[in-house]
A and B are shown apart, each in its own frame.
Chain A
Amino acid sequence: MASSEGLSVSTVPKDVDRTWLDHMHEWVSTVDHKRLGVLYIFSGLFFFILGGLEATAMRAQLAIPANDLVEPAEFNRLFTMHGTTMVFLVGMPIVTGFGNYLIPLMIGARDMAFPRLNAWGFWMFFFGGIVLYMSYFASMGLYGAGTAPDVGWFAYSPLTGRAFSRGNATDYWILGILISGFGSMSGAINMLTTTLTMRCPGMTMRRIPLFVWMMLVVSFLMLLALPVLTAAQVMLLFDRFLGAHFFDTQAGGDAVLWQHFFWFFGHPEVYILIVPGFAYASEIIPVFSRKVIFGYVTMVAASICIGLVAVGVWAHHMFTVGMGRGLDIWFAIITMVVGIPTGIKLFNWIATMYGGKIRFRVPMLFAIAFIGQFLLAGLTGIMLSGAPFTWQLSDSYFVVAHFHYVLIGGLLFTVFGACYFWFPKMFGWMMSERLGLWHFVLFFIGFHLTFTTMHIQGLLGMPRRIYTYEPDRGWAIWNAITSAGVVLQGLGVAFFLLAIFMAFRQKKPAGPDPWDAWTLEWSTSSPPPEYNFLSLPEVRSRRPLWDLKHPEDPDWEHE
Chain B
Amino acid sequence: MNTILEALQYAFIQRALVGGVFIGCCCAFLGVFLVLRRLSLIGDGLAHVGLAAGGLGLFLNTQPLWVSIPLVMFASLWILWLSDKADVYADAAIGLVSAVSVAVGIILASVGRGFNIDLFSFLFGSILAISMHEVILSVALSVIVIGMVFLFYHELFAIAFEEEYARVLGIPVEKINKILILCTAVTVSLGIRVVGTMLISSLIIFPAITALQIARGFRLAMLLAAVFSTLSVLIGVFVSYLADLPTGATIVLINFAFFVLSFIIKKMR
A binds B: no
Which residues of B approach A to under 8 Å, CB–CB?
Answer: none
